[in-house]
Structure 1
């Protein structure tokens, strides 16, 4: 069962990491749903994609660390890392949405 958890969390974490990288470095705003970036000005798109991409990277790294820590230690300490990383990433996403899109939707 531990192998399944590790494998699943690695796949999901790598997916979030790759999406964050594409949004941040390649500025693929199209990977974000339309209504989340509808009101973002063209001059702010680089800053918006940078913040959104980095927040997804933080969440992805948190998910990867969760799987690795739980697999090695056989405890649930990794889920604390997930909770912290997810909260930090979510706060950054909400900040970017409010600042550049002038609201969550």
Structure 2
């Protein structure tokens, strides 16, 4: 039960932060050195992709807790791995495209 509550809360937090970055274009929720070279015209697609990547990670955490709770196994961690790696790849490619590097 602890795993479910913990992962759902962390997943909801990640999803909320991702939504704020994407929909509200709150680029300041990302560390400043990650967006220092992002030009103003690219701010919208940059925040959209970074926010969606964060939401993907959050959904993976929620799925992990839910599947593990329902099945009493650790198969949910497959969702965590797939969603976390997918979100991370999206973030890396977005950083490289719009910021010219990871830092």
Please, what TM-score do these two structures have when normalized by structure 1?
0.97
Structure 2 residue aligned with 1:14? 12
Q: Helix, strand or coil: the match of 1:12? A: helix
Query: Offset of 1:13 from its aligned partner?
Result: 0.2
Aligned-CA RMSD value: 0.3
The answer for unaligned runs of 5 or more in structure 1 is none
Q: 2 CA distance for matches of 1:54 and 1:7?
A: 23
- The residue aligned with 1:99 is 97
Alpha-carbon distance in structure 1 between the residues aligned to 2:67 and 2:10: 15
Deviation at 1:51, TM superposition (A): 0.2
